[in-house]
Amino acid sequence: MEKITTNVYFIRHAESDNTVRDGRIRPLTPKGLADCSLVTNYLNDKNIDMVFSSPFKRAVDTVSDFALKNNLEKQSKIFVSVKVIVIGTDIMIIFFHS
């Protein structure tokens, strides 16, 4: 049986403006916005098929540039809750709740 490999890349949101107390709408700082291109450049050669994000503005904004430039905006999913369980070195279980 052929082994199927799926790579999952976890990207933490870029620098956010901590003066905005509501975490759901907290925007990125100017540096955070500029750093979004670093995320795009890093992911560009990774053959990404889909983008997942929390609904928090800073998370969506961090990956939006990559999703738009790679025509993945229709394949993007926003989830309210994401839980990751790692079992050993080869198995990862990811739970999404929308």
pLDDT-based confidence at residue 89 (cuts at 50, 70, 90): low
pLDDT digits (tens, 9 = 90+) for 12-30: 899 999 999 998 899 999 9
Q: Which domain holds residue 95?
A: 1-98
Count of domains observed in the chain:
1
DSSP the chain: -PPP-----------B-TTS--TTTPPBPHHHHHHHHHHHHHHTTS-----EE-SSHHHHHHHHHHHHHTT-GGG-EE-SEEEEEEETTTEEEEEEE-
Task: Check which CATH number belongs to the domain holding 22 and give it.
Answer: 3.40.50.1240
pLDDT digits (tens, 9 = 90+) for 32-69: 999 999 999 999 999 888 888 888 899 889 999 999 99
